[in-house]
Amino acid sequence: MRRFLSLFMQDLVVVSRNALMWVVVGALVVIIMVVLFLIPADYDLEDTYYFYDASKTGYLEEEARRDGLEDEFILGSLEEIEEAVQADPGSIGIYFSDSGERPQITILHYGTISDQNLNLIAAALEEPLRPYYDLETGDGYRVEYLRPFSAPVPQNQNAVPPLLAFEVIVLGFLMAAVLLFQEKADGVNRAYRVTPGGTSPYILAKGAVFSLIGLFYGLLMIMPTVGVSLNYPALILALILGCFFYTCLGLVVAAFFNNISEWLFVGIALLMVNMTPIISYGWPSFSPAWITYIPSYPIIFGLREILFPTGRDLTSLYIYLAAAAILSYLLCHLVVHFKLMREGR
């Protein structure tokens, strides 16, 4: 215990004197400002649609205006639709006419859209227009919510779980590497090896330091942006276990490199791969199996559930994080023992 505490205090002091900590403090302030004042509460990430209703009845335009669509998206000709889509290649143009036997929709777009998605667009346009044509609205089903339909989370607050996952929790991945390379540059590992210290206190001390820093960082980020009525036990557990896990991973990766300039490019690449679940967070329909295996995937959704509860059981998250922390510690122990606690042949 004494060894652990000594190493813990030492690492805490060394980290606190690192320029990176000041950057982290600055980043925290910037993040809070951005979330509170720059990200709008109701930003829409969905596709942009431009409409031209060339029908005699004008039902589509009527329905679009009733839905609150702004004038800039309701255009006056096919050419205008084409121009709008060309200027904004991510958008979709809808040209509606009823000159034939049945109403016709032409969907203008860039790239390829699958038949399924085209049918989906058509179905979405059909549904509100059915009553206008006295067609059955297809009420041969009922809707059920497994949990009460939860109120939408403001988009600016919705940004907090990813910020926690990719800025706070992975801080240990970066900082553990920085600390390790600092130690290599100072050569202090050699001095440590001739003490009773051992591998476990070395890892646990760093894990504890970055878990503590991550916890404070996370709480300081959440309270001004989301509020103070939080599920603190769940949040603290998630932050601590998550930070510990990434700290161990950071040590594992960094142990294989001699200095930061070697580590940097691989480290950045790994951090970017780790960030890919943000795609699923923003577009939940995209969740291929491989993305669900990335550790930050359950973490980011777990954090969202903790901050914006919908009644989902979080036991699986806790088990996942605990298992991840234990396994990463064991792997870290193996790697650190053979790569750092020994010298050459």
Give the footprint of other proteins on residues 261-280 (CB under 8 A): 261-262, 264-266, 268-269, 272-273, 279-280
Binders of other proteins in range 118-147 (CB under 8 A) = 118-120, 122-127, 129-130, 133, 135-147
Q: Which of 75, 103, 225, 307 binds other proteins (CB under 8 A)?
A: 103
Q: Which of 42, 56, 66, 114 binds other proteins (CB under 8 A)?
A: 114
Interface mask toward other proteins for 36-65; x: CB under 8 A: -------x--x-------------------
Shortest Å, Cβ 293 to other proteins: 13
Shortest Å, Cβ 328 to other proteins: 21
Shortest Å, Cβ 299 to other proteins: 10
Name the phi and psi angles at 142, rounded to 5: -125, 155
Interface mask toward other proteins for 148-177; x: CB under 8 A: xxx-x---------------------x---
The verdict on 68 binding other proteins (CB under 8 A) reads no
Contact 282, 45 (CB under 8 A): yes
Interface mask toward other proteins for 72-91; x: CB under 8 A: ----------x--xxx-xx-
Interface mask toward other proteins for 219-258; x: CB under 8 A: ---------------------------------------x
Which C-beta is closer to other proteins: that of 158 or that of 211? Answer: 158
Q: Which of 68, 115, 228, 229 binds other proteins (CB under 8 A)?
A: 115
SS3 95: strand
Task: Find the Cα–Cα–Cα–Cα dihedral 183, 186, 188, 190, rounded to 10°.
Answer: 110
Contact 128, 60 (CB under 8 A): no
- Dihedral-angle region of residue 282 (phi above 0 means left; psi in -120 to 50 means alpha; beta otherwise): alpha
Q: What is the DSSP string of 319-333?
A: HHHHHHHHHHHHHHH
Shortest Å, Cβ 32 to other proteins: 15
Distance CA 153, CA 146 (A): 18
Task: Find the Cα–Cα–Cα–Cα dihedral 160, 260, 244, 23, rounded to 10°.
Answer: -40
Contact 243, 15 (CB under 8 A): no
- The size of the interface with other proteins (CB under 8 A), counted in residues, is 122
Distance CA 156, CA 226 (A): 9
Of the ranges 1-9, 49-57, 218-226, 242-250, which one interacts with other proteins (CB under 8 A)?
1-9
Q: What is the DSSP string of 180-248?
A: HHHHHHHTHHHHHHTSS--HHHHHHHHHHHHHHHHHHHHHHHHHHHT-S---HHHHHHHHHHHHHHHHH
Distance CA 237, CA 231 (A): 10
Distance CA 53, CA 6 (A): 74
Binders of other proteins in range 195-214 (CB under 8 A) = 195-198
Binders of other proteins in range 10-29 (CB under 8 A) = 10, 13-14, 17-20, 22-23, 26-27
Shortest Å, Cβ 341 to other proteins: 10
Q: How far is CA 41 from the centre of its chain?
A: 17
Shortest Å, Cβ 334 to other proteins: 17
Distance CA 256, CA 260 (A): 11
User: With b meaning 16 or more CB within 10 Å and e meaning fewer, what string describes 65-97?
Assistant: eeeeeeeeebbeeeeebbebbeeeeebbbbbbb
Which C-beta is closer to other proteins: that of 126 or that of 331? Answer: 126
Shortest Å, Cβ 321 to other proteins: 15
Binders of other proteins in range 279-338 (CB under 8 A) = 279-280, 283-288, 292, 297-298, 301, 310-312
